[in-house]
Amino acid sequence: MSITLTPPPNHRWVAPTPKKNLIVGMGDMLASNDVSSQLVTYSLGSCVGITIYDPVAKVGGLLHAMLPDSAINLDRAAARPYMFVDTGLPAMFHAAYALGGAKARLVIKFCGGAQFLDDKKIFRIGERNVEAVMGMLARNGVRLAASETGGHASRTVRLDLANGNVTLEIPGKQSYLL
């Protein structure tokens, strides 16, 4: 059987209402269950972006961490846990649980950690950030649904809170789904 959709008389096509952007700054995190919004973080370079999403509770979180290890400055970590991977990741998971997210349902995606052309390996922040995330997820038995790390481009990340879609944008390119 086929269905033909006939627009009602005087029908006007309406563009979908634009999503509200909830912007996540550097060294910051947001968790939300507002399905009319998307979480956005701009131009991740060596920083890392981790998104989590519970498709049943429709709860999501986005972390934009800058450095791998809070040991470099514990006071800063206490004041701003989201600057660091090791303190930011657990804090994001807890924020999602507080909104009704369940660990078993969380879909986790990961991007960022760009690197310079750095043969002598003097700026290893991007690489160390990626290692820190992978290590921490592995230790906690958490599986990644998708990831795109490394490379020499900065990435803008969007998490749609209605459906958990993660979109990446690289300067000069069309955006694409992760």
Partner 1 sequence: MKADELIAKAKNLQVPSPAVVSLLGMLAEEEADNEEIIQVITRDSVISSKILGSCNAAVYGLATPVTSIDQAVLYIGHSEIHRLVMTAAFGGVLNQALPGYAIGEQELWQHSLLTAHVCVIISERTPHGVIDPAIAYTGGLIHDIGKNVISRALTPEFQGTLMELIEQPGHSLLAAERAVLGTDHAEVGACLLRKWRLPELLIEGVAHHHKPASRPNVKLSTLVHVADLIAHQAGNSPGIGSYAAQTDAAAVTALGLEAADLEKLVMDAYDTLAEVAGKRVVS
> Which positions are annotated as active-site residues?
47
CA proximity to 150, closest of 133, 130, 173: 130
Kindly state whether residue 45 participates in binding partner 1, applying the rule CB under 8 A. Answer: yes
Residue 170: CB minimum distance to partner 1, A: 8
Among 85, 125, 159, 168, binds partner 1 (CB under 8 A): 125
Q: List, in sequence order, every beta strand (DSSP E) within 129-175.
A: 146-149, 155-160, 166-169
CA dihedral over 161, 163, 173, 118, signed as positive or negative: positive
Among 56, 79, 122, 177, binds partner 1 (CB under 8 A): 122
Residue 106: CB minimum distance to partner 1, A: 28
Structural tokens at position 30: 């947001």
Among 33, 34, 35, 42, binds partner 1 (CB under 8 A): 42
Q: What whole-number distance in Å separates Cα of residue 71 and Cα of residue 43?
A: 25
DSSP labels for 6-18?
-PPTT----PPPP
Residue 45: CB minimum distance to partner 1, A: 4
Residue 68: exposure state from Cβ atoms within 10 A (0-12, 13-18, ≥19): buried
Kindly state whether residue 131 participates in binding partner 1, applying the rule CB under 8 A. Answer: no
Residue 122: CB minimum distance to partner 1, A: 5
**Binding residues for partner 1 (CB under 8 A):** 26-27, 42-43, 45-47, 66-67, 72-73, 76, 83, 114-120, 122-126, 151-154, 171-173
